[in-house]
Amino acid sequence: MPETHNTRHGVPVRSGRTAAVTGAGLVATALLAGLLVGCSEEGEQIPSIGYAIDNTVTTYNANSAAGAVSGARQAFARVLPGFTYTGPEGGSVADTDIGTANLMPGESLTVRYELNPDSVYSDGVPTSCDDLVLAWAANSGRFTRPNDEGAMVPMFDAASTAGYSDIDRIDCRTGAKDAVVTFKPGRNVIDWKSLFGATEMMPAHVVAGATGIFDIVSAVQNSDNVAMARVADFWNGAWTMTPGNLDLSLFPASGPYKIESFSAEDGLVLVANDRWWGNRPATSRIVVWPKVSDVRSKVADGSVEVLDVATGSVPDVNFDGFDVTEVPSFSVEQFILSTAGVFEDPAGRRAFALCLPREEMASKFGVASGPGGTGGPADTRFTPPGSLVYRSAADAEGGRYKRPDTQASAAALAEIDNPPASVRIGYLGPDPRRAAIVADVAAACAPAGITVQDAGSPDFTPFMLRDGQVDAVLAGTASAPGAAGTAADTTAMYALRSGIGSNFGNYANGRIDEIVDQLAVDSSIADQLALSTEAENILWSEMPTVPLFHQPRTIAFESGMQAGSANPTRSGAGWNMDRWIFRR
């Protein structure tokens, strides 16, 4: 069972200062840990704090399909904040520094958003409702164009349309500080508070200046496809981040931090935004060290004071002098399977699932008790463990896929004309934990006649699944390699909806689409029970993914840190980095 411990001289010992985080006590303990880490006011405050994560930072745009599986949310939550952020409990928490979002009366769900009148980007341009309109346009799927085959596809390469596709209109005057968002009739989105949240509002004025579309609001309201195609081309790729080669004029910040530089040698350097209107950051400089960095050596040479990684993913780290906590995250470790190539036939996907030692892997690599008090294998794709309907939905698995069944796996293979004799499993490496999982799967599946190849690499992205370079991805919720997940089912269930950017396996089932769409707006427990159970019965039969366990996270703060608090969601430990103080 994962446990909280300190390390002194490299030897882990049970800590009396922090407590194991399990079940309903997750957030209370995480906050307690934050209060207990480095409470002393003694020592000199260090002006720069290093923060290491287990993901790459490849783009400023966390909303694109590429950005959602990167570390952009962990790096930029306090660079591009929104009306809410994902708190340690996994829910959306209001960020009133940015503005307010209030429900308005009416038959349709209607929300009035008001930006802080003092809010301004780091380049001096005021934030405006244009930013909300751009977010809606990009994430709604409403703007389409033909692909090479002539099929109509979204212009914007968004990770998900969840919630945004349900918006009917946004009443916004170009440059104004307020907007009224009206949803389509009957689409009272349950998770509406997560919309326009941290990292979701990109700077519309930058897009306008770069594309020459100076009134994006009008272009959206008039459905100007020619103009929006130019906007989409910029949105999709112009915020790509290459170390050592950033045009900082394209990367203004709306939060307490802004980007100063990005290089392989010095990391991603965030510095205090002198135009920030809220409380000044407690520490003026944060250096984010992405996974491509040698995290072990960075910890050893004192470059890292905060570490947030999947447990076991970084080998041989010396945590001497750190307060270390292992927590169950809201991210479900899983295999995302292709629906083409060797896995085109669902029988092949079932054969692979039948040879997996899911129960053993959950015990070996997972958590004894996950969110909502659950433990062992994760038996649902998108029903949260804390949900009242979780147990019933999980029962759809029926015990068929907990332990390897070589005979049943071989029988499923016999149903296929060209069975998958070899399965390439990709993941973002190096990652000893995932390498060990793949090795265990290879040993378990060999007797069934399935050869498993380890295709993990530092250059891996889930797009390789879509391109046919691998047959399965080993990752967390919605294919994210690092921190992921929330208490809501939104991200997870939309990753299995057809046409969604984060659906890297290209799974499509019309009934699953209908269920996802209804669950997004239906809060009836009876309906959730029926729909979630039906969905899992379909998914265990068609097997687009194989859920394994809730991913354990190792979160470490160097002793002397104040306000360090575990957040086992997609936000990561950096959710409140502007409050961090480190004294040595």
Whole-number pLDDT of residue 360: 96
CA distance 520 to 40: 45
More confident residue, 542 or 376: 542
CA distance 157 to 154: 7
How much is the average pLDDT of 170-194? 98
CB 72, CB 560: distance < 8 Å: no
Token representation of residue 263: 């290089």
Maximum CA pair distance of the chain?
70
Whole-number pLDDT of residue 33: 43
Confidence bin at 547 (pLDDT 50/70/90): very high
Tens of pLDDT along 271-323? Answer: 999 999 999 999 999 999 999 778 889 999 999 999 999 999 988 899 999 99
Tens of pLDDT along 71-108? Answer: 999 999 999 999 999 999 999 999 999 999 999 998 99
CB 553, CB 568: distance < 8 Å: yes
Query: Quick check: helix, strand or coil at residue 108?
Result: coil
Residues 73-87: b if buried by 16+ CB within 10 A, e if exposed: bbbbbbbbbbbbbbb
Confidence bin at 198 (pLDDT 50/70/90): very high
Residue 15 has pLDDT above 60, yes or no: no
CB 92, CB 162: distance < 8 Å: no
Residue 24 has pLDDT above 60, yes or no: no
Three-state SS sequence of 129-149: HHHHHHHHHHHHCCCEEECCC
What type of residue is 529?
Answer: L
Assess whether the previous peptide bond of 430 is cis (omega < 30° from 0).
Answer: yes
Whole-number pLDDT of residue 41: 63
Token representation of residue 442: 């290879």
Whole-number pLDDT of residue 292: 76
Identify the structural domains of the chain with CATH numbers, from first to last.
96-196+203-237 (3.90.76.10), 328-551 (3.10.105.10)
CA distance 214 to 28: 47
Confidence bin at 419 (pLDDT 50/70/90): confident
Tens of pLDDT along 125-171? Answer: 999 999 999 999 999 999 999 998 889 999 999 999 999 999 999 99
How much is the average pLDDT of 109-125? 98
Tokens 């050893």 found at? 300
How much is the average pLDDT of 176-183? 98
Whole-number pLDDT of residue 132: 98
Q: Is 245 exposed, middle or buried (0-12, 13-18, 19+ CB in 10 A)?
A: exposed
Whole-number pLDDT of residue 4: 38
Token representation of residue 554: 């190792």
CA distance 277 to 117: 10
Please give the model's pTM, rounded to 2 decimal places: 0.92
Token representation of residue 34: 């934050």
* Helix locations, 258-372, DSSP H: 295-300, 346-354, 358-365
Q: What is the percent of the chain with per-residue pLDDT over 70, rounded to a whole number?
A: 92
